[in-house]
Amino acid sequence: MAESPRRRILAHVRLADICCVIGLALNFMWCSLEGHALRFAETAAQFQFPLNPRGFWLMGFCLLALLYLAVPHWLKRWENTLKGIVPLCGAAGTLAFATAPLQSAVPPLALGLAGLAVSGLGYFWFASRCFTLMARARSIMAIAWAIVAAVLLKTFLLPVATDLLDSEAQVVFACAIPILSSLLLWIAQLSLGVTAVFSLARPMRAGRLSLPAQRNFILLLILSAFLLATVRRLSFWGTWGETSTFSIAPLWGLPELAIMAACLAAFVWGAFARTASLPVAFRFQPAIVVVVTGLFIAAMAQPAQNVLVSTAVAIIIHVDEACAYLLFWTVVALSLDTLDIPPFRVLGIGGLIYAGSSLIWVAAGSHIADMGGALVTLAAYVGIMALMWYTYRETKISTDESGRHEDGYSPQVPNTDRGREELEDPGSITDSIAERCEVLSERYHLTHREKEVLSLLAQGRTRAYIQEELVLSVSTVKTHISHIYAKLGVHDRQGVMDLVLKKESDDSETSPRAL
């Protein structure tokens, strides 16, 4: 019997995981070095920026998010070309920002701003491709643990790099990071047998979310993006080119790293693993409460003379920012598999909300400085609680209308959310459906494109969705579906589903086209 696609992926998952973790850690370091390393801080100090330098980096982030929303077909068609060009442009952007004051051929300020924007675009390009690959090949818990490993690796390596490298070497290293990260992602793709990340089909799930549940999930995506932007603004990494409260130069000791690792592990276990059986609208609320609590601490913290207190506050800020990052990208990964919208739109919405909110916080930084961090945090907390209340209200209304729970909220997962239970282990139903599509494609001699269309039909996708997911015209989708119907000997979508769900023994004798 042929090995299932899921088992083939798991056979190579260790190498892919390692590559993605190291690539993400390097990507984190790229952002931190460009914002806070000595050479880049000196460059920023020589310019009279109309906005904090991080704001222009976020503009590049926003630009790619807008491109995901506006021209997804073009990006998908040219992915294999762009995956080599964008990292080189990111490296060139970092070099341009660092060396802008040292040249006169181009106005230094314009060159520096352009370099920041290009590097921001490159950062989001790698992050979105890396998390899309992991969302297609790995469970949500595996993705969460990969993020934890990447954050810890970055926290350890960043001060090592700033200690061991002089300012010029730091620039060279920062320029090399986007290229190294892309190379690692390419190795991860090869280990999984993947040529184009954005062309990967979604894993088949046994359940689908209802329309109210999908609306709630979009709200959750917006909420997590806004929360990450707020935490970043109130942390000492939130602005660039300024002296941080806590320097990145000293090497963190193993006790501090151990404490941070224990906190992140407890967060993943308590906020993600233990809530996996809850409906989507409630699953992430514990994580949100934890992040908001850390946000308050970050806002209220003041520089302390006591080394232990200063170190404790630094750890809390690092952990809270990592938790917010975990929350955001975990929700993005779930959205890629859950929402009935193409993955480019998920990435575009999440990226635009995060970068747009961050831009607002950065632009308002000089005006809110006198208000104090606590007041800003209170405003963010009120907005977050309002969104959580709306999510609860929407879920309660949909639950009452469907009559699933007669006595109020029940911790059992409703049918529309049951597919989420299988994110950690898709189970036999998912494997059997995927295997059936593979078997039917071989038996009825479907082309590669027809096999992709069949997989989407088996997931209940509409023609419009298939058109956007596979970058095909309306007429081409209709033609492929007609050919599939003809080869399978069915007349409609229900016939396809009946054939996909039929047992092997039932159709082995009634397969006129199997010869």
Same domain, 350 and 453: no
Tokens of 480: 């492929």
Is-above-0.95 flag for pTM?
Answer: no
Same domain, 186 and 317: yes
Whether residue 54 contacts residue 35, with contact meaning beta carbons closer than 8 Å, is answered with yes
How far apart (Å, rounded) are the C-alpha atoms in residues 490 and 474? Answer: 21
Helix ranges (H only) for 339-414 are 343-363, 365-368, 373-402
Residue 77: which residues within 8 A CB-CB, separation 6 or more?
A: 471
Question: Residue 177: which of 130, 134, 125, 123 has the closest Cα?
Answer: 123
Residue 13 has pLDDT above 60, yes or no: no
Residue 500: which residues within 8 A CB-CB, separation 6 or more?
A: 433, 436, 437, 440, 458
Whether residue 282 contacts residue 395, with contact meaning beta carbons closer than 8 Å, is answered with yes
Bigger pLDDT: 247 vs 123: 123
The boundaries of the domain holding residue 258 are 10-204+224-396
How far apart (Å, rounded) are the C-alpha atoms in residues 124 and 147? Answer: 15
Same domain, 242 and 147: yes
In a domain, 423, yes or no: no
Q: Tell me, what's the pLDDT at 306? A: 61
Here the CATH number for the domain that contains residue 501 is 3.40.50.2300
Looking up tokens 């693993």 gives: 273
How far apart (Å, rounded) are the C-alpha atoms in residues 292 and 220? Answer: 15
Same domain, 370 and 450: no
Q: What's the chain's length in residues?
A: 515
Q: Tell me, what's the pLDDT at 407? A: 40
Same domain, 475 and 350: no
Residue 424 has phi, psi (to 5 degrees) of: -80, -30
Half-sphere exposure of 326 (CA within 13 A, CB side): 35
Looking up tokens 């190291």 gives: 22
Same domain, 273 and 371: yes
Same domain, 75 and 197: yes
In a domain, 512, yes or no: no
Three-class DSSP labels, 402-457: HCCCCCCCCCCCCHHHHHHHCCCCCHHHHHHHHHHHHHHHHHCCCCHHHHHHHHHH
Band of residue 21 on the pLDDT scale cut at 50, 70, 90: very high
pLDDT one-digit tens code per residue, 370-417: 555 566 666 666 766 766 676 666 666 556 545 544 343 333 333 333
Same domain, 383 and 481: no
Residue 322 has pLDDT above 50, yes or no: yes
How far apart (Å, rounded) are the C-alpha atoms in residues 220 and 23? Answer: 27
In a domain, 213, yes or no: no
In a domain, 1, yes or no: no
Same domain, 368 and 479: no
Q: Tell me, what's the pLDDT at 167? A: 85
In a domain, 60, yes or no: yes
Same domain, 377 and 328: yes
Residue 18 has pLDDT above 70, yes or no: yes
Q: What share of the chain is helix, strand, coil (3-state, %, to 5)?
A: 75, 0, 25
Degrees (nearest 5) of the Cα angle 280, 348, 332? 30
Here the CATH number for the domain that contains residue 168 is 1.20.1250
In a domain, 218, yes or no: no
Whether residue 138 contacts residue 18, with contact meaning beta carbons closer than 8 Å, is answered with no
Bigger pLDDT: 109 vs 392: 109
In a domain, 401, yes or no: no
Supply the DSSP string of 210-250, one letter for each residue: -HHHHHHHHHHHHHHHHHHHHHHHHSTTSSSSS--SS-S-S
How far apart (Å, rounded) are the C-alpha atoms in residues 411 and 423? Answer: 18
Q: Into how many domains does the chain fold?
A: 2
Question: Residue 156: which of 323, 25, 341 has the closest Cα?
Answer: 25
In a domain, 494, yes or no: yes
pLDDT one-digit tens code per residue, 177-226: 999 999 999 999 998 888 888 877 666 544 556 677 777 788 888 888 98
Same domain, 455 and 377: no
Same domain, 299 and 438: no
How far apart (Å, rounded) are the C-alpha atoms in residues 198 and 72? Answer: 10
Domain C-terminal end among 353, 374, 396:
396
